[in-house]
Structure 1
Amino acid sequence: MPQMAPISWLILFILFSLIFYFFNSMNYFSYLPNSPMKKKKNKINISPMNWKW
């Protein structure tokens, strides 16, 4: 069984590296997080606290 030439290993490495890069970039840019600001207004409930020392 003949061995692969080094240039073929380099081409395979570049090919799999590009596939890995594109796959990760697609996953990164396709994620849309849910922003809590759109659903409800930013209300801060402040209850007064009287500290008596």
Structure 2
Amino acid sequence: MPTEPGGDIDALKDAYATVAHSFSLAMARELRCEKNGGLAAKPVLDPA
């Protein structure tokens, strides 16, 4: 049965968000989206 990961949960969330952002940015660049699809060069990890 899966268990909750130990350690800093906020750091884990930031890591997942960073991976998702990197993938999205790479896809936007590969597809030659104008202005990289509006994505920033670095992820913004502050909640809206």
Normalised TM-score (structure 1):
0.45
Larger RCO of the pair (alpha carbons < 8 Å, separation 6+): 2
TM-score by length of 2: 0.49
